[in-house]
Amino acid sequence: MRDKRDHYYWEAKKLGYRSRAAFKLKQMNRDFRLIRKGDIVLDLGASPGGWSQVAVELGAEVIAVDINPMEKLEGVTFIQADITDESLVDTLLELSDYYDVVISDASPKISGVWTVDHLRSVDLAKASFRIAQQVLRLGGNFLVKVFQGEEIQNFYNELKPHFSFKKFHSPKASRKSSAEIYFIGKGFKGLR
Ligand SMILES: C[S@@+](CC[C@H](N)C(=O)[O-])C[C@H]1O[C@@H](n2cnc3c(N)ncnc32)[C@H](O)[C@@H]1O
């Protein structure tokens, strides 16, 4: 069996990050300046917490959501919930009137069937966007993971009118074999 523990795995262990995914957010934040000091950040699909750790390091206040539990993290308010549950938005808006940045690394359980995993991932990415539309402040930033496949262009077309800057990006820390890609939307134009 292939050893999945690569450079980023060991780097994460060494530096005390809960996931190698932490490096993807670090790289995307360096390249696209998504999170700034003082921001209120909503982290969707947050467990085990690597992205939340990076956001806290950047000086953000973090509200994190995952369907699975997450170990306590200083500076992070955790909610165990399903992001496809429509009532989650009310809870989020009780915690903060608005969010500066919404990030989502939510992934479905991998079935191994490319199309199935792709479609489930698109559903999670759309659920993340539905939440972002209701909680993001005007001018806010959005970052979401999606597995590549036939629906990717439709997904992009759906999101692009809502942001002044938009693109798909694959950070170096993503495995070369991975189907994942990240949609980056900056300058949210608000609900319309
Ligand atoms: C790749 S992990 C996220 C890793 C995280 N960004 C980090 O750096 O530690 C994907 C997460 O999405 C979560 N997830 C999947 N479906 C979800 C759903 N419907 N609602 C909330 N979280 C979900 C999983 O439980 C899992 O923890």
Three-class DSSP labels, 30-52: HHHCCCCCCCEEEEECCCCCHHH
Exposed, middle or buried, 133 (CB in 10 Å: 0-12/13-18/19+)? middle
Q: Is the CB of 51 under 6 A from ligand 1?
A: yes
- Tell which wins on pLDDT, 7 or 142: 142
Judged against a pLDDT cut of 90, whether residue 98 lies above it is answered with yes
d(CA 95, CA 126): 22
Residue positions counted in the chain:
192
Question: Exactly one of 24, 26, 145, 186 is catalytic; which is it?
Answer: 145
The tokens describing 91, both together, are 């809870």
**Ligand 1 mean position, distance from CA 126 (Å):** 14
Q: Is the CB of 47 under 6 A from ligand 1?
A: yes
Q: Can you give the pLDDT at residue 80?
A: 98
d(CA 89, CA 95): 10
Q: Can you give the pLDDT at residue 176?
A: 82
Exposed, middle or buried, 79 (CB in 10 Å: 0-12/13-18/19+)? middle
Judged against a pLDDT cut of 80, whether residue 2 lies above it is answered with no
Please tell me the pTM assigned to this model.
0.96
**Ligand 1 mean position, distance from CA 163 (Å):** 24
Reported as a single tens digit per residue, the pLDDT across 133-189 is 999 999 999 999 999 999 999 999 999 999 999 999 999 998 888 899 999 999 999
Percentage of residues of the chain with pLDDT beyond 70: 97
Q: Is the CB of 105 under 6 A from ligand 1?
A: yes
Q: Can you give the pLDDT at residue 13?
A: 87
Judged against a pLDDT cut of 70, whether residue 3 lies above it is answered with no
Once rounded to an integer, what is the mean pLDDT over residues 109-127? 96
Reported as a single tens digit per residue, the pLDDT across 33-71 is 999 999 999 999 999 999 999 999 999 999 999 999 999
Please tell me the residue having the least CA distance from ligand 1 atom 8.
50
Q: Can you give the pLDDT at residue 119?
A: 97
Residue 48 CA, closest ligand 1 atom number: 9
> Would you call 145 a catalytic residue per the annotation?
yes
Q: Is the CB of 68 under 6 A from ligand 1?
A: yes
Helix (H, G, I), strand (E, B) or coil at 180: strand
Residues with Cβ < 8 Å from 86, sequence gap 6 or more?
none
Q: Which domains does the chain have, with CATH numbers?
A: 7-188 (3.40.50.150)
Q: Is the CB of 177 under 6 A from ligand 1?
A: no
Q: Rounded to 5 degrees, what angle do the CA atoms 185, 191, 192 make?
A: 110
| Residue whose token pair is 């429509």 | 86
d(CA 63, CA 4): 30
Sequential DSSP letters for 103-144:
EE---PPP-S-HHHHHHHHHHHHHHHHHHHHHHEEEEEEEEE
